[in-house]
Amino acid sequence: EDQVTQSPEALRLQEGESSSLNCSYTVSGLRGLFWYRQDPGKGPEFLFTLYSAGEEKEKERLKATLTKKESFLHFTAPKPEDSATYLCAVHSGGGADGLTFGKGTHLIIQP
């Protein structure tokens, strides 16, 4: 059974204080690992897809990396508008369509 564990559950940072979120996964053949941002009461917003170990992707203040066992979402000099819940999800090689999500990290960036 696919498992996704995110840490920490919650993180409070000062504006400009860089940090990383962790996503550890156990899957039967990883087809893709996805990062989403979710604001309260809204749908998950797609951020990144990573397909193979060693892959990195960047967008504005965010950088996502992937190893064979985990992924990191790094925030460089975050701003208050980056406050949200960040969800990690995996698509395994078992032929299933649905994503398996982690519980998310609730990130708060204080001005």
Partner 1 sequence: AAGVIQSPRHLIKEKRETATLKCYPIPRHDTVYWYQQGPGQDPQFLISFYEKMQSDKGSIPDRFSAQQFSDYHSELNMSSLELGDSALYFCASSLGTPGGAYEQYFGPGTRLTVT
Given the rule CB under 8 A, which residues bind partner 1?
31-32, 34, 36, 41-46, 49, 51, 87, 91, 95-104
- The nearer residue to partner 1, 95 or 111, going by C-beta atoms, is 95
- The nearer residue to partner 1, 10 or 77, going by C-beta atoms, is 10
The dihedrals phi and psi of 81, each to the nearest 5 degrees, come to -70, -5
Min separation Cβ 87 and partner 1, Å: 7
Min separation Cβ 46 and partner 1, Å: 5
Min separation Cβ 84 and partner 1, Å: 14
- The nearer residue to partner 1, 60 or 97, going by C-beta atoms, is 97
Burial of residue 24 (number of CB atoms within 10 Å: 0-12, 13-18, 19+): middle
Q: Give dist(CA 57, CA 46) in Å, integer.
A: 13
96 in Cβ contact with 32 (< 8 Å): no
Helix (H, G, I), strand (E, B) or coil at 94: coil
